[in-house]
Amino acid sequence: MGEVDEGTRAANLRAAWALAHAAGLAASETLPSDSGASSPESRAVMRANRGRDTKPELLLRSLLHQRGLRYRVSIRPLPDLRRTADVVFPKARVAVFVDGCFWHGCPEHHRPATKRAEFWREKIEGNRARDAETSRLLLERGWRVVRAWEHEDLSRVAERIDLLVRARRPVKEG
């Protein structure tokens, strides 16, 4: 097809896609009428975002499993609340959420969108409000909530969860 040697990765990708389109190897997608995306490219990126089993979630679950902890994945801690936690310890009543920096507005890494800025600002604010409400409702019903950012040291998060779960497990009478 050809080589690209631009100054940045983004420029290389643009140049490579231009070559692919010119060679007939890639077709331009038109946006569906009901799509809120600003371009076919942004729609493809948004559709590729995973709702569960993200890399940070998988790594955290692996670290928890190595510590001998067993858990449920992507379930509702409270059956009457339409919110799922990433990792749940039902007997210990511990719900774990691994929050993405963009989607949950990480104070350290979140960079506001430049296209459709108002829409995305409202979306992220809504996610933050829902996260706070979810944590409050779980705490009111005797659960403990662990929220971790995707960029955190997940081995430290796993240690924190391990201590909490073991401290909250029901004592077996013997």
Q: By three-state DSSP, how is residue 94 classified?
A: strand
Say which DSSP state 18 is in. H
Residue 111 has pLDDT above 80, yes or no: yes
Q: By three-state DSSP, how is residue 102 classified?
A: coil
70-109 pLDDT, tens digit per residue, is: 999 999 999 999 999 999 999 999 999 999 998 899 999 8
CB 113 within 8 A of CB 120: yes
Report how far residue 134's alpha carbon sits from residue 144's, in angstroms, rounded to the nearest whole number. Answer: 11
Residue 13 has pLDDT above 70, yes or no: yes
Percent with pLDDT over 70 in the chain: 90
pLDDT band at 50 (very low <50, low <70, confident <90, very high): low
Q: By three-state DSSP, how is residue 80 classified?
A: coil
Phi, psi of 110 (to 5 degrees): -65, 130
Nearest alpha-carbon partner for 140 in 64, 59, 81: 81
Q: What is the mean pLDDT of residues 36-46?
A: 69
Q: pTM for this one? A: 0.74
Residue 174 has pLDDT above 70, yes or no: no
- pLDDT score at 56: 95
pLDDT band at 47 (very low <50, low <70, confident <90, very high): low
- pLDDT score at 112: 87
